[in-house]
Structure 1
């Protein structure tokens, strides 16, 4: 069934209704998957195909993807797909057999990290990587107390869900999790870095008052669930020093900002001129294939390795290693880190220019192709209602996006890194049309 509608600014707007078969599909999904699963948008999208920055529904309508950072080198990139298929047709097994693919990939991946981050342990998901980081941190420090930001997201295992305030109150925070305010100028007037570090120290003091020893500070280095907070370069340094002074470790969660997305550097932590004790990886690492990992300093993992075995049935398998290598090759050969820097700047400037004509667009923050656009009301206060209307109206305009932050008033923009200035122009044109209609 194809809708007959009028073309507006180069796209065919949806009518906000669902075909009967999709209504039945939603009911079937609820019956089979249960109540915890969620769908995006008031009118969910039924997608059947992806290519580059575009996703297609069953009627052949193209949607501009400005949200899915998993497919960071583009949906269904042919080189990644070929690497996956070729290796799957040859051998797929875990890392307790000798195989060169995982070693070659480990060498190539670690070459992107500063010394002494010279070990890598493979998992399937970022949740597993962060869970493993906690196990290692506890073995190294003897502590259990974790410092996180107050709207963080670090995973869906029990341990990582307990330190992920953004996913809801059912399991978070855990008894050894000590949330602190996210690093914004409003929360820490004056010197942002020193204020955030003082909050880390204060959290460790609260632990001590309860007889809990610090284990680690873990942060998503762009604070994507807190509001997309790249902050001034270098501001994280004092916080890392503060947790170490209290006997804990600093864990950089690069699951969302990693692999060149921030443009100026391969990893978000590098913008701050520091070296973490551990770095967790995931999402874009396999461009859709489930692979993730934890990069660690050898001294940090020594105690854990001496007392515990680690293996992962699928983490680091030959297919994953081949896919990961292909992703690194594409990032290098297509200049995607540099593209993230230059296209991200154009995106940032375009949103700033649009804000001059539309007062509901507040502050925009970015690092490369990771942007957060505040939506505000006439008084300058956060406006989650309008943000939700924009997200849903953009979906009808065939642009996929979402919102983030504790109030849900921030447009979260993180398109595939093959995004170009032409795609930015499409996004800005359709956003302006949506704003005019609202």
Structure 2
């Protein structure tokens, strides 16, 4: 796992931290991972900042779960107020549940926004798991196509369609992958035709083996593949090919949705595609576990008739209160406009650093989501995981938190909260400048 703590290096930590890590391993087991070469012990958060147990302040430029900032007052108040009144599931009539579903659907473009329906879960993994179940039930087929380093969750079914989980993670035999739209190495005009051709080829292979195509599922900013936001004309032709073969197009908005791209509330909208299913998670409740999926009515009809679905905590009254307050805040006047402006400042600053430091091969992104690709050689464009992780950890030492992504973990993953300010940008860029200079 990129940017994870190596327990064999614990000897460099103080005695208290070593005791904590040993206790954690004993109580939680070996599968959990800590971030950073020197882990951070977080005690509290406020706005765009986290604070460790000694009171040191860290600029959080990575956490898109709390996209409105840590301990957002409006969301916290909504949760407290609802928890004082009632917390129960969706099998009772609840106006708040319907009011939120109606408001949420109104934010979606195209047919799915006009006629779609919502099903609520607790996490994005559950939402993608449900979407996969519905797609396979609707089509009667099993095949799934994703990009080569896709991540769609950690339930058994969606972990099996998430190649980014590593070479030891078992993949579904009915899974096929296509190349990521690598705009750094592939001419933009070639990306769309190449992806469409690869999808068509994989569909033929699935049909030949008797699986057929149930769904193509994609994160429209290709976060785990290394973050590729352009060109934006590649997904609509893919959706057409998939539908002609009897499959469904699923837009995974867990990372790209809820205003992350700033110019659109939903990442798929940048591509002008109308999905059959949209999944949501992470920032939906600004840290409270709420997620869901939206379906075209004809897609969910058979599933609703033939199957029973119930999620004890999905769509509970407190979760809906958190989701409603989060959506209202995101849609409040000026927030996304300001986020887009700050994102422009961040992009310009990253590009300026790219002109000064040879290690930076490419800067790409949109809204408040950016990737900085580190290379050994700008001409050969060879990836440099060592420099990438050195920068992530160097920033951590300067109390700025980001992470890394891409197949070689050589792409700096920068995704600040939507409330990031120009001053926060300056702090991030200054720390990055000093870290690059030190390297």
What TM-score results when the alignment is normalised by the length of structure 1? 0.94
1:364 aligns with 363
2:82 aligns with 87
* C-alpha separation in 2, matches of 1:334 and 1:18: 46
C-alpha displacement of 1:190: 4.2
Within-5 A mapping of 1:34-433: 34-117=29-112, 118-185=116-183, 186=185, 190-333=189-332, 335-379=334-378, 380-433=381-434
Corresponding residue SS for 1:313: coil
* C-alpha separation in 1, matches of 2:309 and 2:190: 42
Contact 1:262 1:340 in 2 (8 A): no
Corresponding residue SS for 2:412: strand
Contact 1:70 1:288 in 2 (8 A): yes
C-alpha displacement of 1:115: 4.1
| Structure 2 residue 36 is the aligned partner of structure 1 residue 29 | no
Deviations 1:99-150 (A, max 9, x none): 1111111111111012432200000000000000011101111110000011
* C-alpha separation in 2, matches of 1:112 and 1:264: 13
Deviations 1:49-107 (A, max 9, x none): 10111000011111000100000011100110010111011100110011111111111
C-alpha displacement of 1:437: 1.2
* C-alpha separation in 2, matches of 1:180 and 1:37: 29
C-alpha displacement of 1:234: 2.3
Q: Which runs of 5+ in 2 are unaligned?
A: 1-10
1:5 aligns with none
Contact 1:164 1:172 in 2 (8 A): no
* C-alpha separation in 1, matches of 2:94 and 2:232: 40
Deviations 1:7-51 (A, max 9, x none): xxxxxxxxx953321211111111111111111111000000101
Contact 1:146 1:216 in 2 (8 A): yes
Corresponding residue SS for 2:382: coil
Contact 1:193 1:237 in 2 (8 A): no
Q: Is the helix fraction higher in 1 or 2?
A: 2
